[in-house]
Structure formats: C-alpha cells, structure tokens
Amino acid sequence: MGEPGGIFATRRGSILLISSCTLISASAQIMMKIGTTRITTLDPIALATNLPLVTGYALYGIFCLMMILALRRGELSLIYPIISLAYVWVTVLSYFIFHDTINPLKLLGIVAVMAGVALLGRQGPE
C-alpha cells in the first residue's frame, strides 16, 4: 500500500472508481436533460442560473477528473467497456424520471451491454 494512488492503484480499486464514474456520468446526463427542459431562451444569464443544467455540467466535470485518475492506473480495454454502463443507468433512470418506455429491443440492448462488459471484465489466465 506504499505505492502512490492508494486503493485506486489496484485492479479492484480502478473498477470501483470507474463504476462510480458511470453513476456520476448518468446523473450528469439526467440533470442536463432536466435543465434543458427548462430552457426558454438561449440567454447566457438564464443558462448560467439554470441550476439543474449547471449541476449536470459540474457532475460531468467531476466525471472527467475521475476518468483521469482511472486512466492513469487502469487498463483502457477494461475501463471503456465499463463506461458503457452509463447508457444502462441513463435508460433505467429515464424510465423512472421521464417515464421513457423500455421496449423489448431496448431491454435486449441493455442485456447485451451488460453481458459485453461482464465478458470483457473477466480476467483470463495470465
């Protein structure tokens, strides 16, 4: 544990960090969507005072900083497939928050993304 980076220096730590990134990214996208539904004009003052929109962009900034940490230590071939789980979170959150529909094709897509991440995340013999 004397290595710089603490918990995020380990494979498990990197996966935990990048998994947290997916939730933050999805939350950012949901907040930006909520904010854009409140836009009536492209007035810079109105945009800067649109709290959900500003919150969404702030969360996206946090996501980017966390990605920098993850990319420093983690395997790129593992990180980016996990990031795709943000699409799953956005779809599920949109169902509950915006009452979007989840048809069988969307459900199949969610299962495919999750299965792909699971397969890519498996560590084979070294």
- What is the structure's pLDDT at 7? 58
Count: domains in the chain: 1
87: Cα separation from own chain's centroid: 7
Residues 6+ away with beta carbon under 8 Å from 59:
24, 25, 27, 28, 31
72: containing domain: 7-121
pLDDT digits (tens, 9 = 90+) for 76-91: 888 888 899 999 999 9
Domain-embedded: residue 1: no
Domain-embedded: residue 73: yes
Domain-embedded: residue 66: yes
As a whole number, mean pLDDT of residues 103-108 equals 95
CA dihedral of 85, 91, 97, 102, whole degrees rounded to 10 = -150
The sign of the CA dihedral 89, 92, 93, 94 is: positive
Domain-embedded: residue 57: yes
pLDDT digits (tens, 9 = 90+) for 13-70: 878 899 899 999 999 999 999 999 999 888 999 999 999 999 999 999 999 999 998 8
Q: pTM to 2 decimals?
A: 0.83
- What is the structure's pLDDT at 2? 47
Domain-embedded: residue 126: no
- What is the structure's pLDDT at 16? 86
Distances (CA, A) of 92 to 29, 102, 105: 12, 8, 14
